[in-house]
Structure 1
Amino acid sequence: MPLLYQDCTFRYGRRTHPVLNGLNLALAPGHTVLLGPNGAGKSTLLSLGAGAFRPGTGRVGLGRLSASGPRDARTYRRKVAWLPQRPGFLPGLTAREHVAYIGWLKGMRERDAWAAAPAAIDRVGLAEKMNDRIKTLSGGQQQRVAIAGALVHEAEVLLLDEPTAGLDPHQRRRFLDLLVSLRGTMHVIVSTHDIGDLDQAFEEVVVLESGRVRFQGPVSLFDSHAAPDCVPGRRLESAYESVLEAAE
């Protein structure tokens, strides 16, 4: 089912300028990357998609399920997992305890969540760290534990906000490999400023600027926006710059 934003407007507090204004966007199942400058609305878009925020006007939904509808919200939040840029962890928990706890929060029975946690942790390549306290893990490992929390309750959609921020090149490579391994099993939507190798992990690109969609399409079409004389290896960066320049 697609993640739908229908005529969505959102503003923070009493600010007169909306972050999103009449946004219409359909994100089909697959791996989608959200690009855009700071303040473009990427984090707000993901927060709305997670049901953490409610639009001032319009609707956010997964197929017929509404993110904020009183009868749909619980089911919706089981189907959609959201990881903000800095996932929170309860102090003192091991990786398994955290993943099982997330499963319980999402509606699993306690014993079922505990039994399912090892398989979810193994999927993210951390089986040997399952009983380690999260505070002892590296930033990249903590990010993978957070994703295991989404896998344990079999969410259909995974929303990731700047998941590679602060990761070293090796950790970033491991993370992208993990995203590739999820193809065909989860609908993944990622916001990032790292453009260079997005063609290896994503199928669709969405560019936001000033709360509006400036581009949506497959990576191959996005690549075609690169300048003819761009430096080899920088085609995607060039395409991004061209899309933003066209929006001015």
Structure 2
Amino acid sequence: MAGTVAPGGGTVRLKGSDLTSAARAYRRHVAWLPQKLPTSRQLTAREYVAYLAWLKGGDRSAAWERAGTVLEQVGLADRSGRKTAKLSGGQLRRVGIVCALAHDARVILLDEPTAGLDPHQRTVFRDVLRKATGRIPVLMSTHDIADLADEANTVSLMNRGRILHHGATGSFLEHARPDAAPGRRAESAYSALMGLEGVG
């Protein structure tokens, strides 16, 4: 879906663009935040964001101006001149979101977005994501069940290529044990769907 690997079969479409027949147009509309954002010791945060916006088809000068604007939106204006290699994990996650906003993506793909973040960094990241993305659809892949309960409108649970659940978060949580603690309902629902209830 990120367009980094050609599909072995089937098709992936977004807003009329097909990953196989119109890959260039497709990639222009998709922003991808990998679990570990690749950095360049030679580029500052603003240079990095502007460079990726330019790679997505943006005008060079416009990409530079846009990079400054979106970095300010996520509270990184004071870090825009810092090398990406010297940013913290939480700051890098915000840079990843900024890269998506800088080229007007139509969908954002997040791969394990809170992995390696401490509780405070997770809270900051979620707040930034919520405010920055607005109406842009976000598709998140995660092993952290707490992410599902806190952020998702829709949950899909897949095991070995088979969809075990797809639907609203509420319908997912309905699989939790009746006696599950409020903060553990997502975990309980996951265990029930995976057939892990009672497994120690």
- TM-score, structure 2 as length reference: 0.92
Matched residue of 1:128: which SS? Answer: helix
Q: Which is richer in strand? A: 1
Residue in structure 1 matched with residue 148 of structure 2 by the alignment: 198
The answer to whether residue 178 in structure 2 is matched with residue 228 in structure 1 is yes
Q: What does 1:89-128 align with in structure 2 at a 5 Å threshold?
A: 89-128=39-78
For structure 1, list consecutive stretches of 5 or more residues without a partner in the other structure: 1-48
User: 2:48 is matched by which residue type in structure 1?
Assistant: H
TM-score (norm 1): 0.75
Separation in 2, partners of 1:55, 1:105? 22
Q: Residue 50 of structure 1 contacts residue 67 of structure 1 at CA under 8 Å; is this kept in 2?
A: no
What is aligned with 2:109?
A: 159
1:60 to 3, 6, 12: 12
Deviation beyond 4 Å, 4+ runs, structure 1: none
Give yes or no for contact 1:205–1:219 (8 Å, CA) kept in 2.
Answer: yes
CA distance in 2, matches of 1:60, 1:191: 17
Query: Which amino acid letter does the alignment assign opposite residue 77 of structure 1?
Result: R
Check whether the contact 2:155–2:168 (CA below 8 A) recurs between aligned residues: yes
Contact 1:179 1:201 in 2 (8 A): no
Identity among equivalent pairs (%): 47
1:136 corresponds to: 86
Counterparts of 1:232 and 1:201 in 2: how far apart (Å)?
16
Query: After superposition, what is the alpha-carbon deviation per residue over 1:142-172, rounded to whole angstroms, capped at 9, x for unaligned?
Result: 1111221111001011111111111111111
* Contact 1:66-1:76 within 8 A present in 2 as well: yes
Contact 2:40 2:84 in 1 (8 A): no
- Give the whole-Å Cα distance in 1 for the aligned partners of 2:93 and 2:26: 23
Q: Deviations over 1:184-231 (max 9, x none)?
A: 431111111221253332211111100121111111111111011223
* Within-5 A mapping of 1:1-248: 49-69=1-21, 72-182=22-132, 184-196=134-146, 198-245=148-195
Distance 2:42 2:84 in 1: 7
* Counterpart contact for 1:79–1:157, Cα < 8 Å: yes
Give me the whole-angstrom Cα distance separating, in 1, the residues matched to 2:43 and 2:16. 36
* SS of equivalent residue, structure 1 residue 193: coil
SS in structure 2 of the partner of residue 233 of structure 1:
helix
Kept in 2, the 8 Å contact 1:204–1:219? The answer is yes
Number of residues of Structure 1 aligned to a counterpart in Structure 2: 196
Please list the CA deviations of residues 75-109 of structure 1 after superposition, one character each: whole Å capped at 9, or x if unmatched. 11110011211111222211100000011100111
